[in-house]
Copies of this chain bind each other. A is one copy, B any other.
């Protein structure tokens, strides 16, 4: 537990800061499954009292990143392959099919431009081999569309399961996808979005999210 650090950013509550920092520490692997989280230590480390720490821990617990036991503290949890493939990704598909369907009518040209910008950045990141940045852009792309769906619950649930998926791929299933491919697949998805064909979009979303499960060595026979 060193080098976490908390900077003052007035527009965001301490609780949200703490949650973000811990989330990043866990998904990046800096905090590993089994590591204990001691409230007082975290409070000292992040320069706050325990109250925001505790609320952040509750949130991470709901997100499945940690487990808490009464009077016995919290520990970082691992993510199993079964869980990702059979639960988290199918749920992501359910959520995104719904959200993309809802967002379809609401996406403005400005939104589509913004999405194109993200994809362009992905190409740059892919070319530069910046895997972390690529993953961030990946998340931003999906979150942007889901946000436009204006389905508050949907976005919230997506944010709830996404960290675990990210943690899994960052920690336990390293570098399974070709970066250039990731960028290209998002371009294709965006192109389908532009057509406005609802059935085609839902289908593309399903296939797109599913791709995350393709094993490392598999050939890319994308049309």
User: What residues make up the interface of A, taking CB atoms closer than 8 Å to B?
Assistant: 13, 51, 54-55, 58-59, 62, 64, 67, 70, 77, 83, 86-87, 90-91, 94-95, 98, 151-154, 156-157, 160-161, 164
Contact = CB atoms under 8 A, between A and B. Distances in A.
Nearest to A89: B94
A147 to B, nearest CB: 15
A62 B153 contact: no
A94 B90 CA distance: 7
A157 B161 CA distance: 9
Contacts of A94: 87, 90-91, 94
Given A13-B70, A54-B55, 18 more contacts: A51-B54, A55-B58, A59-B62, A64-B156, A64-B157, A77-B152, A83-B153, A83-B154, A87-B94, A87-B98, A87-B153, A87-B154, A90-B94, A91-B94, A91-B95, A94-B94, A153-B164, A157-B161
